């Protein structure tokens, strides 16, 4: 199979060179060279897994060599000038939304590759070997609905929690509604745990998510951009404020929440003194140095709210993503490398090393994120960050300051709403 693939790839590549007569040529008649610009620093676990996966790909395809340029996050500054100067770059990666919206015009449309099988897709077309919600998200960001980027290292924003606390509090299942969340918080407090905390860096996600559940994220974006402030009179706003006022009064939130500077609240969760924290699934890796790998992580979607329109099928989710240069002389080989890294053994290895989420639909998930899989499988709507509440950066500081005081118990729900309408 390996020899068949290599021969087929070279045949296509040779034809492409003859047809185009441009871009980078192979180093020799027998060797294809791919150039990959990476968003990772070489010491990061993601980089180490990707590099080993690339060397494994080279062994399986001895006529293909890959040059890696470790850019780190500086790629946001360095990539576009290099592309504008026609520097040879076959593959690059960065955040899914960013690569499509920023570098989409430089990238190759990949739809035709999704229907092909690869050695690591177990006989399936590529599109059937990875999570469909991520391919749909890639199409969502493109103006023409085509696929210009292949997601990997996905994340979803959800409640990350301590399963051991839930078990000791007698909570048999994770909350799906706001009422169930309140019941769970009551049991946690009775069992001696602080149910929830938050840091300043993510404070806007709580009201943003609640309002998006209540009215949809498009409405939240309208709300924060309403120069008349009339939309703040909508009953959903007061409902949200009263919901958080109630959990503050009940003592369900850490008494340090109003003063928490990131990552103080996260560290309270890592230390086992607080149970829940609304964040991305990257939290597991982010505080692994404190928790260690044995921490009993669980994940559940932000609950639906009374009279709301959205449920656990909607969330802020995304991924890192690979793109192929539309001027690459070796697109078949480039996509074969991407398939090698995003399905099968190296998809699993990348997830395990970084305590992240795999892309493959059948790939084993890290045990710390096992419960996140069900969330991913049900996703239909992608929220913008914080449910759309950041759509007006002038209004955002006022929202964050007032909501922090609300959650800290120093102002009432009515006072919060009054402040928003000024």
Delimit the domains of the chain by residue range. Answer: 32-154+319-370, 156-316+382-421
Structure tokens at 131: 């999570």
3-class SS of residue 253: strand
The residues, ordered by sequence, that sit 6+ positions from 232 with a Cβ below 8 Å of its Cβ are 223, 226, 417, 420, 421
The alpha carbon of residue 342 and the mean position of all alpha carbons in its chain are separated, in whole angstroms, by 15
- Token look-up 């492409």 returns 16
Tell me the CATH architecture of domain 156-316+382-421.
3-Layer(aba) Sandwich (3.40)
Q: What is the pLDDT of residue 86?
A: 96
Topology of the domain comprising 32-154+319-370: D-Maltodextrin-Binding Protein; domain 2 (3.40.190)
Q: What is the pLDDT of residue 377?
A: 84
pTM above 0.95, yes or no: no
* Nearest alpha carbon to residue 328 among 144, 152, 106: 106
Same fold? 32-154+319-370, 156-316+382-421: yes
What number of H helices and E strands is found in the chain?
20, 10
CB 266 within 8 A of CB 287: yes
The helix (run of H) or strand (run of E) holding residue 238 is: helix 235-249
Q: What is the pLDDT of residue 376?
A: 87
Query: What is the chain's pLDDT, residue by residue, as a tens digit (422 residues)?
Result: 333 333 444 444 443 333 333 344 444 567 999 999 999 999 999 999 999 999 999 999 999 999 999 999 899 899 999 999 999 999 999 999 889 989 999 999 999 999 999 999 999 999 999 988 899 999 999 999 999 999 999 999 999 999 999 999 999 999 999 999 999 999 999 999 999 999 999 999 999 999 999 999 999 999 999 999 999 999 999 999 999 999 999 999 999 999 999 999 999 999 999 999 999 999 998 899 999 999 999 999 999 999 999 999 999 999 999 999 999 999 999 999 999 999 999 999 999 898 888 998 777 888 999 999 889 888 999 999 899 999 999 999 999 999 999 999 999 999 999 999 98
3-class SS of residue 304: strand
Q: What is the pLDDT of residue 298?
A: 97
């Amino acid at each position: 199979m390996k020899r068949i693939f290599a021969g087929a790839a070279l045949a296509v590549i040779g034809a492409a060179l003859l047809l185009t007569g441009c871009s980078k040529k192979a180093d020799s008649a027998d060797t294809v060279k791919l150039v990959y610009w990476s968003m990772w620093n070489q010491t990061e676990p993601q980089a180490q897994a990707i590099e080993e996966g690339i060397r494994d790909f080279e062994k399986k395809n001895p006529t293909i060599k890959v040059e890696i340029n470790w850019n780190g996050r500086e790629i946001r500054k360095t990539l576009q000038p290099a592309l504008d100067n026609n520097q040879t770059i076959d593959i690059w990666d960065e955040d899914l939304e960013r690569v499509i919206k920023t570098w989409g015009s430089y990238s190759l449309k990949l739809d035709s590759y999704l229907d092909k099988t690869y050695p690591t897709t177990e006989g399936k077309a590529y599109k059937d070997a990875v999570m469909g919600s991520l391919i749909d998200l890639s199409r969502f960001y493109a103006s023409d609905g085509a696929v210009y980027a292949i997601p990997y290292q996905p994340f979803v924003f959800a409640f990350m929690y301590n399963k051991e606390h839930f078990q000791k509090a007698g909570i048999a299942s994770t909350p799906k509604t706001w009422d169930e969340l309140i019941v769970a918080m009551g049991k946690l407090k009775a069992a001696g745990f602080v149910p929830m905390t938050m840091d300043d860096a993510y404070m806007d996600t709580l009201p943003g998510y609640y309002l998006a559940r209540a009215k949809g994220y498009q409405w939240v974006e309208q709300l924060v951009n309403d120069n008349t402030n009339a939309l703040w009179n909508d009953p959903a706003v007061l409902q949200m404020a009263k919901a958080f006022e109630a959990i503050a009064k009940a003592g369900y939130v850490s008494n340090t929440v109003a003063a928490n500077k990131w990552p103080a609240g996260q560290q309270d969760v890592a230390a086992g003194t607080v149970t829940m924290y609304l964040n991305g699934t990257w939290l597991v890796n982010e505080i692994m140095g404190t928790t260690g790998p044995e921490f009993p992580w669980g994940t559940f979607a932000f609950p639906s709210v009374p009279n709301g329109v959205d449920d656990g099928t909607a969330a802020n989710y995304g991924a890192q993503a690979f793109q192929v240069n539309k001027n690459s002389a070796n697109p078949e080989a480039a996509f074969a490398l991407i398939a090698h890294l995003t399905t099968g053994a190296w998809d699993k290895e990348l997830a395990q090393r970084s305590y992240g989420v795999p892309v493959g639909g059948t790939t084993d998930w890290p045990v710390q994120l096992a419960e996140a899989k069900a969330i991913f499988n049900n996703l239909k709507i992608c929220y913008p960050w914080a449910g759309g509440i950041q759509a007006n950066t002038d209004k955002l500081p006022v929202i964050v300051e007032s909501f922090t005081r609300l959650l800290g118990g120093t102002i009432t729900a009515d006072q919060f709403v009054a402040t928003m309408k000024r």
